[in-house]
Structure 1
Amino acid sequence: MAEIIRLHYPILKNKKPVRQVVAMGFFDGVHRGHQAVIERAKSEADKLGVPLAVLTYDPYPAVVFRALEKPLRYLTPLAQKKILLTKLGVDKIYVMQFTSELAKVEPQQFVDDVLMCLNPILVVGGFDHLYGGNSSTADMMHLPFYAQQRFDVIVVPEFDDNHKKIGSSAIRRALDIGDMNQVNQQLGRIYQTTGLVVHGEARGRKLGFPTINIKTPELEWLPGIGIYAVKVKVGDDWYEGMASIGRNITFGDERPVTVEINILDFQREIYGENVTVTWYTYLRGEVKFSTVSDLIVQLNSDEYQTRQYFDTVN
């Protein structure tokens, strides 16, 4: 597993690490564009026979520059980002605390005071990566000038999918409308969240569709309101299910958003368990039914669609 090393500006001038390739980026989502950057950096590190490090940031830089319109959430919180980067061959993850002080650092100072502390032999970044403060020249095109021949620079060009730019912002927008096909296509994997199984209202059991209620960490980005075909990891095993993100509007207005999952062919009580949910496809939107009987008919239809979906993808 990659080692996480936390940094705060100004960085204490301790002993430098061994020479290494450094890939720079926020990498929220570790989507296919990010993967192209990391894979290029890994290839170069292997050629040079040196470790591969990533320089990333926490929290999201927008926190420093403006008031947030929505709660701060991530496609890949740091723990998941660590797992994904490790799978791509990263040896060290430098997590730089993004503060007001760091945001004021000019690009040359950033290179001198931050990058050089990492002892890079080569720095790799995506075409649109910015570093340091708000300077108009704090981009990858100008990095060779600031490097002053102390390290090499590789800029990875834009990675698109059928002429659609792959990017974290596009993935977030797709998540908000439940477009899991686009989300998963751009990520190159099935989108994943985590959570704790807690007590709910036990209404699903009375309807013949018992559900587990998931308390999702506040920093994780959930898909939009709707019904989804999912898989749930309980312990070491994966189970198919149908998930509802919504307000249960059939039973009242202005209810809080909850995450409930009916795990197919599963009868165990698992309160207090930490679970992982992979979001495969959107089935339908949330509907306010006039009768409970109509809701049960729809739930039977949802179960049929879910089973049919997994029969085709498994």
Structure 2
Amino acid sequence: MLTRRTAVIAAALAPLARPALAQAGWPERPVRMVVPFGAGGNLDTLIRIVSPMMSQKLGQPVVIENRPGAGGNLGAEAVARAAPDGYTVLVAANGSLVNNPLLMVRMPYDAVKDFVPIGLGFRTPNVLVVSPRYPQQTLAAFFADAKARPGQVSCASAGVGTTNHLLIELLNAATGAGLVHIPYRASGASTPDLISGTLSSAVDQITTALPQHRDGALKILGIGMPERIALLPDVPSFTEVGLEGGGITSFIGLLVPAATPAGPIARLQAAFAAALADPAVRARVEAIGNLIATPEEQTPGGFAKALEVERELARRAVQLAGLKPE
């Protein structure tokens, strides 16, 4: 039989034990993954590849919710304002976490303070593409020609302030090429002008350029990675023309609202890492040009470090471009 003193202590500790017990049983209902862009894009495609296995590991459905708008800010804000219980997860990319805070005066959330990283999942390299009829058909020759004719070689991006635009600025700074940035409204929008010869070149995501490269409609001359990749072993990295580290890549990772308990974060991270380690998942991801993050990057601490690097690169590129928050 409990003594009176033991009973008093047990009663006092009971409220503290309840959250721990609740975390031990987590999740007890479906987990919502918020994709801050429309269905069918690369980010949406990748999270739908891994979500079935995550659901299996968590023992609960993983529901994908597309909430596009404001360059990814609408969906990110919804997660930032959600209950910090692990049931609402942000599937984030460069825009909402890195670029937008540098380029927008009014942000509806704090990209650093309002989220806790779960893990980085994917990197999507940006590539330099030209028409097969363009006179310069190697990366070295392209930049030698551009450097010799500063201000005469055009290079398109998916828009001002996008990751591929910022990479163009870093390439100009590293090579002295003087590429003239031509902003389009979306990834792949410059393809008709490249094919027709109206446009000299473009920097775009590999997932957009790869089908045209394989069909011979466009040619990938270089890739924004520290080194060459197995999918395109004959394509040089931008490090080979002097851009240290290869420049900026697009990334996709998972985050939850700040103050989310450690238990749900650990369960989500373990489920995400297990899905990324699956050979079938890896094959599907890499076949369309994406790369799986390293095991270290897949952890909360590793993702946090990667974000610091990406923010510093983007900050430098924004300064080079002379962009101001609007």
Smaller-chain TM-score range? Answer: under 0.3
Identify the structure with the greater strand proportion: 1
Identify the structure with the greater helix proportion: 2
* TM-score of the aligned structures, taking structure 2 as reference length: 0.26
* TM-score of the aligned structures, taking structure 1 as reference length: 0.26
